[in-house]
Amino acid sequence: MSMISRRSFLKGTGVVAGALALTACGGSSSSTAPASSAAGTTDFSAVLAEFDAGAANLADWANKFDTIIDKVRTETDFAKRADLMHEAEDVLMSTWALMPIYFYTDMYLQKDYVTGVQNNVFGMKRFMYAKNTNNPDQLNICLASEPDYTDPRLSTSVDGGCLASNMFLGVMTLGADGNPIPGCAESYTVSDDGTVYTFTMKDGLKWSDGEALTAADFVYSWNTCVDPNTGCDYGYLFDVVAKNDDGTVKAEASADGKTLTVTLISPCPYFLDLCAFPTFYPVPKAHVEAANTDGTQPGKWAQEAGFVTNGAYTMTAWNHNESLTLSANPNFVDAANVTMPKLNFMLSADTTAIHTAYLNGDLDFADSVPTEEVETQKKGTELKIDPQLGTAYTCANVNSPLFTEGRTAQQAIALRKALTLQIDRDYIVETITQGGQVPANCFIPKGCADGNGGIFYETTTYTYPVASAKGYFDPAADNSEEIANLLQAAGLTLVDGMVDQAATPFTFEYLTNPGGGNIAIAEAQQQDFAALGIEMGIAQQEWAVMLDSRKNGDYDVSRNAWVMDYNDPINMLEMWLTDSGNNDAQFGK
Protein backbone atom coordinates (compact mmCIF):
# COMPACT_ATOMS: atom_id res chain seq x y z
CA MET A 1 0.00 0.00 0.00
CA SER A 2 1.20 3.46 -0.85
CA MET A 3 0.64 5.98 1.89
CA ILE A 4 2.03 9.21 3.26
CA SER A 5 3.94 8.88 6.50
CA ARG A 6 2.21 10.70 9.32
CA ARG A 7 5.63 11.76 10.62
CA SER A 8 5.50 14.31 7.81
CA PHE A 9 2.70 16.15 9.58
CA LEU A 10 2.35 18.29 12.64
CA LYS A 11 0.11 15.94 14.65
CA GLY A 12 -3.50 17.03 14.79
CA THR A 13 -3.08 20.32 12.95
CA GLY A 14 -3.55 19.22 9.36
CA VAL A 15 -0.51 21.35 8.39
CA VAL A 16 1.84 19.70 5.94
CA ALA A 17 5.49 19.83 6.90
CA GLY A 18 7.41 20.08 3.66
CA ALA A 19 6.48 19.25 0.08
CA LEU A 20 4.71 15.95 -0.43
CA ALA A 21 3.83 14.03 -3.53
CA LEU A 22 0.21 13.05 -3.94
CA THR A 23 -0.22 9.47 -2.76
CA ALA A 24 -3.14 7.81 -1.09
CA CYS A 25 -4.46 4.60 0.21
CA GLY A 26 -7.89 3.34 -0.65
CA GLY A 27 -9.09 2.34 -4.05
CA SER A 28 -12.03 1.94 -6.35
CA SER A 29 -13.15 0.64 -9.65
CA SER A 30 -11.13 1.91 -12.59
CA SER A 31 -12.02 5.34 -13.89
CA THR A 32 -11.79 6.90 -17.30
CA ALA A 33 -8.71 9.06 -17.77
CA PRO A 34 -9.46 12.70 -18.58
CA ALA A 35 -8.87 13.85 -22.16
CA SER A 36 -7.00 16.95 -23.28
CA SER A 37 -8.93 19.34 -25.47
CA ALA A 38 -7.54 21.17 -28.49
CA ALA A 39 -7.09 24.29 -26.40
CA GLY A 40 -4.79 22.42 -24.03
CA THR A 41 -7.19 22.31 -21.12
CA THR A 42 -8.30 19.05 -19.58
CA ASP A 43 -11.81 17.79 -20.19
CA PHE A 44 -13.18 15.97 -17.12
CA SER A 45 -16.59 15.25 -18.57
CA ALA A 46 -15.76 11.55 -18.89
CA VAL A 47 -14.75 11.43 -15.22
CA LEU A 48 -17.98 13.14 -14.16
CA ALA A 49 -20.10 10.87 -16.35
CA GLU A 50 -19.47 8.10 -13.81
CA PHE A 51 -21.65 10.04 -11.39
CA ASP A 52 -24.66 10.73 -13.61
CA ALA A 53 -26.58 7.85 -12.03
CA GLY A 54 -25.73 9.04 -8.52
CA ALA A 55 -26.87 12.56 -9.35
CA ALA A 56 -30.15 11.19 -10.73
CA ASN A 57 -30.63 9.10 -7.61
CA LEU A 58 -30.13 12.11 -5.34
CA ALA A 59 -32.51 14.24 -7.40
CA ASP A 60 -35.33 11.72 -7.10
CA TRP A 61 -34.54 9.83 -3.91
CA ALA A 62 -38.10 8.78 -3.13
CA ASN A 63 -38.48 7.01 -6.47
CA LYS A 64 -34.91 5.78 -6.80
CA PHE A 65 -34.34 4.48 -3.24
CA ASP A 66 -37.58 4.47 -1.26
CA THR A 67 -39.32 2.51 -4.01
CA ILE A 68 -36.70 -0.26 -3.88
CA ILE A 69 -37.10 -0.55 -0.11
CA ASP A 70 -40.87 -0.80 -0.54
CA LYS A 71 -40.29 -3.68 -2.95
CA VAL A 72 -37.94 -5.36 -0.47
CA ARG A 73 -40.65 -5.26 2.19
CA THR A 74 -43.25 -6.92 -0.02
CA GLU A 75 -41.11 -9.38 -1.99
CA THR A 76 -42.00 -12.94 -0.97
CA ASP A 77 -39.22 -14.56 -3.02
CA PHE A 78 -36.31 -14.13 -0.60
CA ALA A 79 -33.67 -14.63 -3.32
CA LYS A 80 -35.16 -11.75 -5.31
CA ARG A 81 -35.41 -9.81 -2.06
CA ALA A 82 -31.65 -10.20 -1.53
CA ASP A 83 -31.00 -8.93 -5.07
CA LEU A 84 -33.20 -5.90 -4.39
CA MET A 85 -31.15 -5.11 -1.30
CA HIS A 86 -27.96 -5.26 -3.34
CA GLU A 87 -29.59 -2.83 -5.75
CA ALA A 88 -30.54 -0.53 -2.88
CA GLU A 89 -26.96 -0.51 -1.59
CA ASP A 90 -25.76 0.37 -5.09
CA VAL A 91 -28.08 3.39 -5.11
CA LEU A 92 -26.90 4.36 -1.64
CA MET A 93 -23.22 4.09 -2.51
CA SER A 94 -23.69 5.91 -5.84
CA THR A 95 -23.91 9.11 -3.78
CA TRP A 96 -20.53 8.54 -2.07
CA ALA A 97 -22.02 10.35 0.94
CA LEU A 98 -21.23 7.35 3.14
CA MET A 99 -17.48 6.79 3.42
CA PRO A 100 -16.94 3.35 5.03
CA ILE A 101 -13.99 3.20 7.42
CA TYR A 102 -14.04 -0.20 9.14
CA PHE A 103 -16.27 -3.05 10.21
CA TYR A 104 -16.82 -3.18 13.93
CA THR A 105 -15.68 -5.55 16.60
CA ASP A 106 -16.87 -5.08 20.19
CA MET A 107 -13.95 -4.34 22.50
CA TYR A 108 -14.48 -3.89 26.26
CA LEU A 109 -12.93 -4.60 29.64
CA GLN A 110 -14.47 -7.00 32.14
CA LYS A 111 -12.93 -8.03 35.44
CA ASP A 112 -12.07 -11.69 35.76
CA TYR A 113 -14.34 -12.01 38.78
CA VAL A 114 -17.37 -11.01 36.68
CA THR A 115 -19.23 -13.68 34.71
CA GLY A 116 -22.59 -14.06 32.98
CA VAL A 117 -22.70 -10.74 31.12
CA GLN A 118 -24.68 -11.30 27.95
CA ASN A 119 -23.44 -9.71 24.75
CA ASN A 120 -24.28 -10.30 21.12
CA VAL A 121 -23.28 -9.14 17.64
CA PHE A 122 -25.64 -6.15 18.00
CA GLY A 123 -23.78 -4.80 21.06
CA MET A 124 -26.77 -5.31 23.36
CA LYS A 125 -25.22 -6.00 26.77
CA ARG A 126 -27.42 -7.31 29.58
CA PHE A 127 -26.32 -7.67 33.15
CA MET A 128 -29.30 -9.18 34.99
CA TYR A 129 -27.86 -12.70 34.91
CA ALA A 130 -24.28 -11.67 35.74
CA LYS A 131 -22.36 -12.67 38.85
CA ASN A 132 -19.66 -10.75 40.70
CA THR A 133 -17.63 -12.84 43.14
CA ASN A 134 -15.88 -9.70 44.36
CA ASN A 135 -19.16 -8.04 45.36
CA PRO A 136 -22.28 -10.19 44.75
CA ASP A 137 -24.66 -7.27 45.33
CA GLN A 138 -23.67 -4.93 42.52
CA LEU A 139 -21.77 -4.23 39.32
CA ASN A 140 -20.06 -0.92 38.55
CA ILE A 141 -20.27 -0.23 34.83
CA CYS A 142 -19.47 2.43 32.25
CA LEU A 143 -21.10 2.15 28.83
CA ALA A 144 -20.97 5.75 27.65
CA SER A 145 -21.89 9.29 28.62
CA GLU A 146 -25.40 10.63 29.31
CA PRO A 147 -27.91 8.58 27.26
CA ASP A 148 -29.84 10.40 24.56
CA TYR A 149 -33.15 8.95 25.80
CA THR A 150 -34.30 6.31 28.27
CA ASP A 151 -37.71 6.06 26.63
CA PRO A 152 -37.14 2.92 24.50
CA ARG A 153 -39.24 4.36 21.66
CA LEU A 154 -36.91 7.34 21.24
CA SER A 155 -33.41 6.02 21.85
CA THR A 156 -31.23 5.48 18.77
CA SER A 157 -27.83 4.82 20.38
CA VAL A 158 -26.28 1.49 21.32
CA ASP A 159 -25.75 2.57 24.93
CA GLY A 160 -29.35 3.75 25.15
CA GLY A 161 -30.46 0.42 23.73
CA CYS A 162 -28.38 -1.42 26.35
CA LEU A 163 -30.05 0.52 29.15
CA ALA A 164 -33.47 -0.13 27.63
CA SER A 165 -32.83 -3.86 27.30
CA ASN A 166 -32.01 -4.02 31.01
CA MET A 167 -35.13 -2.06 32.03
CA PHE A 168 -37.77 -3.25 29.54
CA LEU A 169 -38.93 -6.49 27.96
CA GLY A 170 -40.66 -7.02 24.62
CA VAL A 171 -43.02 -9.79 23.56
CA MET A 172 -39.76 -11.36 22.41
CA THR A 173 -36.27 -10.94 23.82
CA LEU A 174 -32.81 -12.00 22.71
CA GLY A 175 -31.30 -15.14 24.18
CA ALA A 176 -27.67 -15.45 25.17
CA ASP A 177 -26.84 -16.38 21.56
CA GLY A 178 -28.53 -13.26 20.18
CA ASN A 179 -31.49 -15.11 18.67
CA PRO A 180 -35.07 -14.14 19.57
CA ILE A 181 -36.89 -16.12 22.24
CA PRO A 182 -40.21 -15.43 24.02
CA GLY A 183 -40.10 -12.52 26.48
CA CYS A 184 -43.48 -11.26 27.69
CA ALA A 185 -44.94 -13.88 25.37
CA GLU A 186 -45.29 -17.45 26.54
CA SER A 187 -45.54 -18.71 22.98
CA TYR A 188 -46.46 -17.64 19.45
CA THR A 189 -47.85 -19.04 16.23
CA VAL A 190 -47.42 -17.92 12.61
CA SER A 191 -50.02 -18.29 9.90
CA ASP A 192 -49.29 -20.55 6.93
CA ASP A 193 -48.70 -17.53 4.69
CA GLY A 194 -46.27 -16.00 7.18
CA THR A 195 -48.21 -12.75 7.66
CA VAL A 196 -50.13 -13.22 10.94
CA TYR A 197 -48.32 -13.62 14.25
CA THR A 198 -50.32 -14.52 17.36
CA PHE A 199 -48.57 -14.10 20.69
CA THR A 200 -49.94 -15.64 23.88
CA MET A 201 -48.82 -13.56 26.85
CA LYS A 202 -47.38 -15.01 30.06
CA ASP A 203 -49.51 -15.05 33.18
CA GLY A 204 -48.99 -12.41 35.86
CA LEU A 205 -47.22 -9.76 33.77
CA LYS A 206 -46.82 -6.51 35.72
CA TRP A 207 -45.31 -3.08 35.42
CA SER A 208 -42.76 -2.17 38.08
CA ASP A 209 -45.46 -0.23 40.00
CA GLY A 210 -47.52 -3.41 40.32
CA GLU A 211 -50.11 -2.56 37.67
CA ALA A 212 -51.09 -5.33 35.26
CA LEU A 213 -49.37 -5.39 31.87
CA THR A 214 -51.39 -6.78 28.97
CA ALA A 215 -51.28 -7.16 25.22
CA ALA A 216 -53.11 -3.81 24.98
CA ASP A 217 -49.98 -2.07 26.30
CA PHE A 218 -48.08 -3.25 23.24
CA VAL A 219 -50.81 -2.06 20.88
CA TYR A 220 -50.72 1.38 22.54
CA SER A 221 -46.94 1.63 22.48
CA TRP A 222 -46.59 0.54 18.87
CA ASN A 223 -49.21 3.02 17.75
CA THR A 224 -47.36 5.86 19.45
CA CYS A 225 -44.25 4.87 17.49
CA VAL A 226 -46.02 5.37 14.16
CA ASP A 227 -47.61 8.63 15.34
CA PRO A 228 -45.49 11.48 13.89
CA ASN A 229 -46.09 13.52 17.05
CA THR A 230 -43.96 11.06 19.02
CA GLY A 231 -40.87 11.74 16.92
CA CYS A 232 -39.78 8.11 16.92
CA ASP A 233 -36.73 7.93 14.64
CA TYR A 234 -37.25 4.19 14.32
CA GLY A 235 -40.91 4.52 13.35
CA TYR A 236 -40.12 3.11 9.91
CA LEU A 237 -39.48 -0.30 11.49
CA PHE A 238 -43.25 -0.67 11.73
CA ASP A 239 -43.61 -0.36 7.96
CA VAL A 240 -43.59 -4.16 7.78
CA VAL A 241 -46.81 -4.19 9.85
CA ALA A 242 -50.10 -3.71 8.01
CA LYS A 243 -52.00 -0.51 8.86
CA ASN A 244 -55.62 0.22 9.58
CA ASP A 245 -57.46 2.94 7.66
CA ASP A 246 -56.61 5.47 10.38
CA GLY A 247 -52.86 4.75 10.11
CA THR A 248 -52.60 2.70 13.29
CA VAL A 249 -50.83 -0.64 13.24
CA LYS A 250 -52.86 -3.75 12.56
CA ALA A 251 -52.20 -5.23 15.99
CA GLU A 252 -55.06 -6.34 18.18
CA ALA A 253 -55.28 -7.31 21.83
CA SER A 254 -57.87 -9.81 22.96
CA ALA A 255 -60.47 -8.65 25.47
CA ASP A 256 -58.68 -10.42 28.31
CA GLY A 257 -55.29 -8.99 27.28
CA LYS A 258 -53.80 -12.47 26.92
CA THR A 259 -53.38 -12.50 23.14
CA LEU A 260 -51.64 -10.11 20.74
CA THR A 261 -52.36 -10.64 17.05
CA VAL A 262 -50.21 -8.80 14.50
CA THR A 263 -50.76 -8.72 10.73
CA LEU A 264 -47.84 -7.98 8.39
CA ILE A 265 -47.98 -6.66 4.83
CA SER A 266 -45.96 -9.69 3.68
CA PRO A 267 -43.75 -12.40 5.23
CA CYS A 268 -40.89 -10.77 7.12
CA PRO A 269 -37.87 -12.99 7.97
CA TYR A 270 -36.80 -10.73 10.84
CA PHE A 271 -40.11 -9.84 12.49
CA LEU A 272 -39.37 -11.77 15.69
CA ASP A 273 -36.04 -9.91 15.92
CA LEU A 274 -37.99 -6.64 15.69
CA CYS A 275 -40.23 -7.76 18.52
CA ALA A 276 -37.11 -8.07 20.68
CA PHE A 277 -35.81 -4.61 19.71
CA PRO A 278 -36.22 -1.62 22.12
CA THR A 279 -38.52 0.35 19.81
CA PHE A 280 -41.03 -2.50 20.14
CA TYR A 281 -40.93 -2.51 23.96
CA PRO A 282 -44.08 -1.44 25.83
CA VAL A 283 -44.41 1.89 27.63
CA PRO A 284 -46.96 2.66 30.39
CA LYS A 285 -49.77 4.69 28.85
CA ALA A 286 -50.97 6.42 32.03
CA HIS A 287 -47.47 7.63 32.93
CA VAL A 288 -46.53 8.64 29.38
CA GLU A 289 -49.66 10.73 28.93
CA ALA A 290 -49.64 12.25 32.43
CA ALA A 291 -46.16 13.68 31.77
CA ASN A 292 -47.01 14.86 28.26
CA THR A 293 -50.23 16.79 28.70
CA ASP A 294 -49.63 19.18 25.80
CA GLY A 295 -48.29 16.52 23.42
CA THR A 296 -44.91 18.16 22.90
CA GLN A 297 -42.72 16.07 25.24
CA PRO A 298 -43.33 12.39 24.48
CA GLY A 299 -40.24 11.23 26.38
CA LYS A 300 -40.68 13.40 29.46
CA TRP A 301 -42.08 10.54 31.55
CA ALA A 302 -38.65 8.83 31.50
CA GLN A 303 -36.34 11.80 32.05
CA GLU A 304 -35.80 11.32 35.76
CA ALA A 305 -35.22 8.29 37.99
CA GLY A 306 -38.26 6.41 39.21
CA PHE A 307 -40.11 5.91 35.92
CA VAL A 308 -42.12 2.74 35.44
CA THR A 309 -40.55 -0.19 33.58
CA ASN A 310 -41.39 -3.84 32.94
CA GLY A 311 -37.91 -5.35 32.69
CA ALA A 312 -35.29 -6.65 35.07
CA TYR A 313 -34.49 -3.23 36.57
CA THR A 314 -35.92 0.12 37.49
CA MET A 315 -33.89 3.31 37.64
CA THR A 316 -33.57 4.34 41.26
CA ALA A 317 -31.06 7.18 40.91
CA TRP A 318 -29.92 9.48 38.11
CA ASN A 319 -27.36 12.20 38.65
CA HIS A 320 -27.37 13.60 35.12
CA ASN A 321 -24.05 13.52 33.25
CA GLU A 322 -22.41 11.73 36.18
CA SER A 323 -24.09 8.48 37.21
CA LEU A 324 -27.25 6.42 37.35
CA THR A 325 -28.35 3.33 39.27
CA LEU A 326 -30.58 0.45 38.23
CA SER A 327 -32.10 -1.76 40.93
CA ALA A 328 -33.74 -5.15 40.50
CA ASN A 329 -37.45 -5.00 39.73
CA PRO A 330 -39.35 -7.48 41.95
CA ASN A 331 -42.26 -7.43 39.49
CA PHE A 332 -40.12 -8.54 36.54
CA VAL A 333 -41.58 -11.71 35.03
CA ASP A 334 -38.22 -13.49 35.40
CA ALA A 335 -37.22 -11.87 38.70
CA ALA A 336 -36.51 -15.25 40.30
CA ASN A 337 -33.56 -15.78 37.95
CA VAL A 338 -32.00 -12.32 38.22
CA THR A 339 -28.60 -12.72 39.87
CA MET A 340 -27.38 -9.11 40.00
CA PRO A 341 -29.34 -6.86 42.41
CA LYS A 342 -27.88 -3.47 41.45
CA LEU A 343 -26.11 -1.83 38.50
CA ASN A 344 -24.19 1.41 39.05
CA PHE A 345 -23.37 3.26 35.84
CA MET A 346 -20.65 5.87 35.48
CA LEU A 347 -21.68 8.35 32.76
CA SER A 348 -18.61 9.60 30.91
CA ALA A 349 -17.02 9.92 27.48
CA ASP A 350 -13.53 10.48 28.94
CA THR A 351 -11.81 7.20 28.07
CA THR A 352 -8.80 8.06 30.21
CA ALA A 353 -10.95 8.70 33.28
CA ILE A 354 -12.95 5.54 32.59
CA HIS A 355 -9.79 3.48 32.24
CA THR A 356 -8.34 4.92 35.44
CA ALA A 357 -11.54 4.04 37.29
CA TYR A 358 -11.34 0.52 35.90
CA LEU A 359 -7.70 0.07 36.91
CA ASN A 360 -8.45 1.41 40.39
CA GLY A 361 -11.22 -1.13 40.84
CA ASP A 362 -13.99 1.46 40.81
CA LEU A 363 -15.41 -0.14 37.65
CA ASP A 364 -16.00 -3.82 37.00
CA PHE A 365 -16.95 -3.32 33.36
CA ALA A 366 -15.86 -0.64 30.87
CA ASP A 367 -17.19 -0.49 27.33
CA SER A 368 -14.24 1.55 26.04
CA VAL A 369 -10.47 1.25 26.02
CA PRO A 370 -8.06 4.15 25.36
CA THR A 371 -6.06 3.64 22.19
CA GLU A 372 -2.78 3.85 24.04
CA GLU A 373 -3.82 1.11 26.48
CA VAL A 374 -5.02 -1.53 24.02
CA GLU A 375 -1.68 -3.29 23.52
CA THR A 376 -1.08 -3.45 27.28
CA GLN A 377 -4.56 -4.83 27.91
CA LYS A 378 -4.10 -7.46 25.21
CA LYS A 379 -1.39 -9.03 27.41
CA GLY A 380 -3.93 -9.74 30.15
CA THR A 381 -7.19 -11.67 30.38
CA GLU A 382 -9.71 -8.87 30.90
CA LEU A 383 -9.83 -7.37 27.41
CA LYS A 384 -12.69 -8.90 25.46
CA ILE A 385 -13.02 -8.61 21.69
CA ASP A 386 -16.31 -9.99 20.42
CA PRO A 387 -17.72 -10.16 16.90
CA GLN A 388 -20.10 -7.34 16.03
CA LEU A 389 -22.19 -6.48 12.99
CA GLY A 390 -21.64 -2.82 12.32
CA THR A 391 -19.84 -0.26 10.16
CA ALA A 392 -17.98 2.87 11.19
CA TYR A 393 -18.09 5.53 8.50
CA THR A 394 -17.69 9.19 7.73
CA CYS A 395 -21.03 10.71 6.73
CA ALA A 396 -21.47 13.69 4.43
CA ASN A 397 -24.51 15.96 4.59
CA VAL A 398 -25.52 16.05 0.91
CA ASN A 399 -27.36 19.34 1.49
CA SER A 400 -24.41 21.13 3.04
CA PRO A 401 -23.28 24.24 1.11
CA LEU A 402 -19.91 22.46 0.95
CA PHE A 403 -21.40 20.22 -1.71
CA THR A 404 -24.24 22.30 -3.15
CA GLU A 405 -22.83 25.77 -3.72
CA GLY A 406 -20.89 26.28 -6.93
CA ARG A 407 -20.81 22.58 -7.85
CA THR A 408 -22.98 20.31 -9.92
CA ALA A 409 -24.35 17.17 -8.29
CA GLN A 410 -21.79 15.14 -10.26
CA GLN A 411 -18.94 17.33 -9.02
CA ALA A 412 -20.13 16.96 -5.42
CA ILE A 413 -20.19 13.17 -5.75
CA ALA A 414 -16.74 13.16 -7.36
CA LEU A 415 -15.45 15.20 -4.45
CA ARG A 416 -16.93 12.80 -1.89
CA LYS A 417 -15.48 9.82 -3.71
CA ALA A 418 -12.03 11.45 -3.67
CA LEU A 419 -12.30 11.94 0.08
CA THR A 420 -13.43 8.35 0.52
CA LEU A 421 -10.50 6.92 -1.41
CA GLN A 422 -7.98 9.09 0.42
CA ILE A 423 -8.74 7.72 3.91
CA ASP A 424 -5.98 5.47 5.22
CA ARG A 425 -8.04 2.67 6.72
CA ASP A 426 -5.10 0.41 7.53
CA TYR A 427 -3.59 3.11 9.72
CA ILE A 428 -6.87 3.57 11.59
CA VAL A 429 -7.45 -0.12 12.36
CA GLU A 430 -3.81 -0.99 13.03
CA THR A 431 -2.76 2.07 15.03
CA ILE A 432 -5.91 3.55 16.54
CA THR A 433 -8.71 1.01 17.02
CA GLN A 434 -6.44 -2.07 17.34
CA GLY A 435 -9.36 -4.38 18.02
CA GLY A 436 -9.29 -6.66 15.01
CA GLN A 437 -11.44 -4.33 12.91
CA VAL A 438 -11.31 -4.83 9.14
CA PRO A 439 -11.11 -1.93 6.65
CA ALA A 440 -14.53 -1.39 5.10
CA ASN A 441 -15.25 -0.92 1.41
CA CYS A 442 -19.05 -1.20 1.53
CA PHE A 443 -21.77 -0.09 3.91
CA ILE A 444 -23.48 -3.37 4.85
CA PRO A 445 -21.10 -5.29 7.15
CA LYS A 446 -19.28 -8.30 5.78
CA GLY A 447 -20.78 -11.39 7.40
CA CYS A 448 -24.31 -10.01 7.42
CA ALA A 449 -26.98 -12.56 6.49
CA ASP A 450 -28.92 -12.11 3.26
CA GLY A 451 -32.37 -13.02 4.61
CA ASN A 452 -32.38 -16.13 2.41
CA GLY A 453 -30.21 -18.51 4.41
CA GLY A 454 -26.90 -17.19 3.10
CA ILE A 455 -24.40 -14.37 3.57
CA PHE A 456 -25.07 -11.08 1.78
CA TYR A 457 -21.63 -10.69 0.18
CA GLU A 458 -21.24 -14.34 -0.71
CA THR A 459 -24.19 -14.63 -3.05
CA THR A 460 -23.35 -15.86 -6.52
CA THR A 461 -26.10 -13.87 -8.21
CA TYR A 462 -24.62 -10.46 -7.57
CA THR A 463 -21.91 -8.66 -9.58
CA TYR A 464 -19.83 -6.53 -7.25
CA PRO A 465 -18.65 -3.06 -8.32
CA VAL A 466 -15.12 -4.26 -7.55
CA ALA A 467 -15.36 -8.02 -7.93
CA SER A 468 -11.92 -8.81 -6.52
CA ALA A 469 -12.58 -6.85 -3.33
CA LYS A 470 -16.32 -7.60 -3.04
CA GLY A 471 -17.16 -4.00 -2.42
CA TYR A 472 -17.14 -0.52 -3.90
CA PHE A 473 -13.38 0.00 -3.86
CA ASP A 474 -10.23 -1.88 -2.93
CA PRO A 475 -8.90 -0.61 0.43
CA ALA A 476 -5.41 -1.90 -0.49
CA ALA A 477 -5.09 -0.14 -3.84
CA ASP A 478 -3.20 3.06 -4.68
CA ASN A 479 -5.58 5.39 -6.50
CA SER A 480 -3.64 8.63 -6.29
CA GLU A 481 -4.09 9.35 -10.01
CA GLU A 482 -7.83 8.79 -9.81
CA ILE A 483 -8.11 10.99 -6.72
CA ALA A 484 -6.31 13.83 -8.53
CA ASN A 485 -8.69 13.48 -11.47
CA LEU A 486 -11.70 13.46 -9.16
CA LEU A 487 -10.63 16.62 -7.35
CA GLN A 488 -10.03 18.46 -10.58
CA ALA A 489 -13.29 17.20 -12.03
CA ALA A 490 -14.95 18.63 -8.91
CA GLY A 491 -13.60 22.07 -9.86
CA LEU A 492 -10.51 22.25 -7.64
CA THR A 493 -7.16 23.47 -8.95
CA LEU A 494 -4.16 21.30 -8.11
CA VAL A 495 -0.58 22.52 -7.92
CA ASP A 496 2.07 19.84 -7.45
CA GLY A 497 -0.69 17.38 -6.63
CA MET A 498 -2.29 19.52 -3.93
CA VAL A 499 -5.35 21.75 -3.84
CA ASP A 500 -4.46 25.38 -4.49
CA GLN A 501 -6.33 27.03 -1.62
CA ALA A 502 -5.73 30.48 -3.08
CA ALA A 503 -7.29 29.62 -6.42
CA THR A 504 -10.01 27.19 -5.26
CA PRO A 505 -10.44 27.27 -1.48
CA PHE A 506 -11.70 24.01 0.00
CA THR A 507 -12.07 23.73 3.75
CA PHE A 508 -14.68 22.00 5.86
CA GLU A 509 -15.51 20.96 9.41
CA TYR A 510 -15.67 17.39 10.67
CA LEU A 511 -18.10 16.85 13.53
CA THR A 512 -17.38 14.23 16.19
CA ASN A 513 -17.99 13.41 19.82
CA PRO A 514 -15.05 12.97 22.20
CA GLY A 515 -13.94 9.62 23.54
CA GLY A 516 -13.43 6.14 22.19
CA GLY A 517 -10.59 7.08 19.84
CA ASN A 518 -12.95 9.36 17.92
CA ILE A 519 -10.60 12.34 18.02
CA ALA A 520 -7.64 10.21 16.92
CA ILE A 521 -9.66 8.90 13.97
CA ALA A 522 -10.69 12.45 13.10
CA GLU A 523 -7.07 13.59 13.23
CA ALA A 524 -6.00 10.68 11.03
CA GLN A 525 -8.49 11.75 8.36
CA GLN A 526 -7.45 15.36 8.85
CA GLN A 527 -3.91 14.39 7.96
CA ASP A 528 -4.99 12.24 5.03
CA PHE A 529 -6.85 15.20 3.55
CA ALA A 530 -4.01 17.59 4.37
CA ALA A 531 -1.85 15.48 2.07
CA LEU A 532 -4.11 16.75 -0.70
CA GLY A 533 -3.94 20.34 0.50
CA ILE A 534 -7.47 20.10 1.90
CA GLU A 535 -8.07 21.82 5.23
CA MET A 536 -10.34 20.01 7.65
CA GLY A 537 -11.24 21.42 11.05
CA ILE A 538 -12.49 19.23 13.88
CA ALA A 539 -15.53 20.24 15.92
CA GLN A 540 -16.46 18.33 19.07
CA GLN A 541 -19.93 18.02 20.55
CA GLU A 542 -21.21 15.91 23.41
CA TRP A 543 -22.90 12.70 22.35
CA ALA A 544 -26.56 13.72 22.69
CA VAL A 545 -25.90 17.12 21.10
CA MET A 546 -24.09 15.56 18.14
CA LEU A 547 -26.97 13.15 17.54
CA ASP A 548 -29.31 16.13 17.18
CA SER A 549 -26.88 18.01 14.91
CA ARG A 550 -26.63 15.05 12.55
CA LYS A 551 -30.36 14.47 12.57
CA ASN A 552 -31.05 18.13 11.80
CA GLY A 553 -28.38 18.36 9.09
CA ASP A 554 -26.35 20.94 11.02
CA TYR A 555 -22.95 19.74 9.79
CA ASP A 556 -20.74 19.29 6.74
CA VAL A 557 -19.08 15.94 7.41
CA SER A 558 -19.41 13.86 10.55
CA ARG A 559 -18.32 10.78 12.40
CA ASN A 560 -21.02 8.15 12.16
CA ALA A 561 -21.50 4.46 12.76
CA TRP A 562 -24.25 1.90 12.72
CA VAL A 563 -24.33 -1.32 14.71
CA MET A 564 -27.04 -3.54 13.33
CA ASP A 565 -30.24 -3.99 15.33
CA TYR A 566 -30.98 -7.37 13.74
CA ASN A 567 -29.19 -9.55 11.21
CA ASP A 568 -30.77 -8.53 7.93
CA PRO A 569 -29.39 -6.03 5.36
CA ILE A 570 -32.62 -4.05 5.38
CA ASN A 571 -31.55 -2.69 8.79
CA MET A 572 -28.61 -0.92 7.15
CA LEU A 573 -30.72 0.33 4.26
CA GLU A 574 -34.13 1.53 5.45
CA MET A 575 -32.52 4.06 7.79
CA TRP A 576 -31.85 6.12 4.62
CA LEU A 577 -35.50 6.40 3.60
CA THR A 578 -36.52 9.98 2.89
CA ASP A 579 -38.69 10.27 6.00
CA SER A 580 -36.48 8.24 8.33
CA GLY A 581 -35.40 9.95 11.53
CA ASN A 582 -32.03 8.22 11.14
CA ASN A 583 -31.38 9.69 7.68
CA ASP A 584 -28.41 11.79 8.83
CA ALA A 585 -27.07 12.23 5.27
CA GLN A 586 -30.31 14.11 4.48
CA PHE A 587 -31.09 12.07 1.37
CA GLY A 588 -34.27 13.36 -0.25
CA LYS A 589 -34.65 16.11 2.35
d(Cα 184, Cα 197) in Å, to the nearest integer?
14
Assign 154 a pLDDT band (cuts: 50, 70, 90).
very high
Beta strand pairing status for 259-263 and 313-319?
A: unpaired
Average pLDDT of the residues in 128-150: 96
Give every CB contact of residue 147 below 8 A, 6+ residues apart in sequence.
Answer: 155, 157, 159, 160, 163, 347, 544
Give me the mean pLDDT over the 245-249 stretch: 97
User: Could you give the CA distance from residue 441 to residue 103 in angstroms, rounded to a whole number?
Assistant: 9
Q: Could you report the per-residue pLDDT of 30-89, keeping only the tens digit for each?
A: 445 565 444 446 889 999 999 999 999 999 999 999 999 999 999 999 999 999 999 999
**What fold is seen in the domain 28-104+387-576?**
Dipeptide-binding Protein; domain 3 (3.10.105)
pLDDT of residue 7: 24
Under the banding of pLDDT at 50, 70 and 90, the label for residue 26 is: very low
The pLDDT of residue 32 is: 52
pLDDT at 16 over 70: no
Task: Considering only the C-alpha atoms of the chain, give the largest distance between any 2 of them, rounded to a whole number of Å.
Answer: 84
**pLDDT on residue 11:** 26
pLDDT value at 253 more than 70 = yes
- Residue 5: band (very low, low, confident or very high) from pLDDT cuts 50, 70, 90: very low
Radius of gyration of the chain (CA): 25
At residue 160, what is the residue type?
G
Please report the pLDDT score of residue 1 as a whole number: 33
Is the pLDDT assigned to residue 222 strictly greater than 80?
Answer: yes
For range 274-303, the mean pLDDT:
96
- The rounded distance, in Å, linking the Cα atoms of 6 and 3 is 9
CB atoms within 10 A of CB 336: 7
Task: Quote the mean pLDDT of the chain.
Answer: 92
Q: Taking residues 246-267, what's their average pLDDT?
A: 97
Distance CA 286, CA 254 (A): 20
30 versus 161: the higher-pLDDT residue is: 161
What is the mean predicted confidence (pLDDT) over 351-364? Answer: 96
Confidence class for position 20, pLDDT limits 50, 70, 90: very low
Q: What is the pLDDT of residues 525-542, one digit of tens each?
A: 999 999 999 999 999 999
- What is the per-residue pLDDT for 72? 95
Does the pLDDT at position 229 exceed 50?
yes
The CATH class of the 129-349 domain is alpha beta
- Please report the DSSP string for 295-364 in residue order: SS-TTGGGSSTT----SSEEEEEEETTTEEEEEE-TTSTTGGG----EEEEE----HHHHHHHHHTTS-S
* Residue 474 to residue 406: CA distance in whole angstroms: 30
Pair 157, 543: CB distance under 8 Å: yes
State the pLDDT at residue 35: 57
Give the global pTM.
0.87
- Rounded Cα–Cα distance for residues 567 and 124 (Å): 13
| Cα–Cα distance measured from residue 15 to residue 534, given in angstroms and rounded to the nearest whole number | 10
Domains of the chain by residue range: 28-104+387-576, 129-349
The CA–CA distances, whole Å, from 427 to 1, 97, 101, 382, 516 equal 11, 22, 11, 25, 16
What's the pLDDT tens digit per position in 92-137?
A: 999 999 999 999 999 999 999 999 999 999 999 999 999 999 999 9
What is the mean pLDDT of the segment spanning 165-173? Answer: 98
Q: Give the tens place of pLDDT for each residue, 172-205.
A: 999 988 899 999 999 999 999 999 999 999 999 9
